[in-house]
């Protein structure tokens, strides 16, 4: 039996690292993740779906991380096909609904990274909600440096 204890402990830790969904009150944070980064890379984007099973909407009002300046952003494409990103002050999560943060839409920008985000690791981001308060959510770092956010950035024509 003693020889199974290290295996069981390793299995429990591996399972915890891979099960990224987290529920706090009526909010469930589904598949929070970001791409691995390279040395000297200064920014990355994080994605997840936030489900609200509660009877009241909640509002995401802020994001923070100990390793970067984290902000809620949205990507928009104008009539000329030019993609732009801009910070967003808040995002409502409707009652009995969900919001999905994904490439080309709402996402979490992590700027001024103070370290490389290694594949297979977890990093904490704290999401602040109007009703639920501060919730620290572990984001899994997927392989593939900077692969999560690919945008066709075109220079404005004069």
What is d(CA 107, CA 151) in angstroms, rounded to the nearest whole number?
Answer: 13
Q: What is the pLDDT of residue 10?
A: 37
Reported as half-sphere exposure (CB side, CA atoms, 13 A), residue 5 has a value of 3
Q: Which residue, 115, 24, 114, is CA-closest to 32?
A: 24
Report if pTM > 0.85.
no
Name residues whose C-beta falls within 8 Å of residue 13's C-beta, 6 or more positions apart in sequence.
Answer: none
Please state the domain extents for the chain.
19-140
> Do residues 85 and 57 lie in contact, with contact meaning Cβ atoms separated by under 8 Å?
no
Cβ contact 138:123 at 8 Å: yes
Is the pLDDT confidence value at 148 over 60?
no
Name the residue among 158, 18, 154, 8 with its Cα closest to residue 80. 154
CATH class of 19-140: mainly beta
At residue 17, does pLDDT exceed 60? no
Region 52-68: what's the mean pLDDT?
97
Mean pLDDT of all residues in 83-92: 96
pLDDT above 60: residue 12: no
Question: In the 8-state DSSP scheme, what is residue 89?
Answer: S
Q: What is the pLDDT of residue 144?
A: 67
pLDDT confidence of residue 16: 42
Q: Which band of pLDDT confidence, cut at 50, 70 and 90, is reported for residue 145?
A: low
Maximum Cα interatomic distance, the chain, rounded to a whole number of Å: 73
| Least confident residue range of 19-33, 42-56, 142-156 | 142-156
Q: Which tokens is 53 given?
A: 């099973």
Helix, strand, coil share (%) of the chain residues, nearest 5: 10, 50, 40
Average pLDDT, stretch 30-51? 97
Stretch 137-145: mean pLDDT, rounded?
Answer: 88
Query: What is the pLDDT of the chain when averaged over all its residues?
Result: 84
Mean pLDDT within 125-133: 97
Cα–Cα dist 158/94, whole Å: 41
Whole-angstrom distance, CA of residue 118 vs CA of residue 145: 9
In order, the DSSP letters of 8-27 are HHHHHHHHHHH---EEETTE
């Amino acid at each position: 039996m003693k020889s199974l204890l290290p295996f069981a402990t390793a299995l429990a830790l591996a399972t915890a690292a891979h099960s990224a969904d987290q529920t706090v009150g009526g909010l469930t944070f589904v598949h929070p993740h970001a791409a691995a980064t390279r040395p000297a890379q200064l920014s990355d984007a994080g994605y997840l779906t936030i489900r609200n099973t509660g009877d009241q909407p909640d509002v995401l009002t802020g994001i923070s991380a100990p390793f970067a300046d984290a902000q809620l952003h949205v990507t928009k494409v104008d009539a000329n096909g030019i993609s732009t990103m801009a910070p967003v002050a808040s995002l409502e999560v409707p009652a009995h609904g969900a919001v999905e943060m994904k490439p080309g839409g709402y996402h979490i920008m992590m700027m001024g990274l103070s370290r490389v985000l290694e594949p297979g690791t977890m990093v904490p981001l704290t999401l602040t909600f109007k009703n639920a308060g501060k919730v620290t959510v572990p984001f899994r770092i997927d392989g593939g440096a900077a692969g999560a956010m690919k945008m066709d950035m075109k220079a404005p024509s004069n």
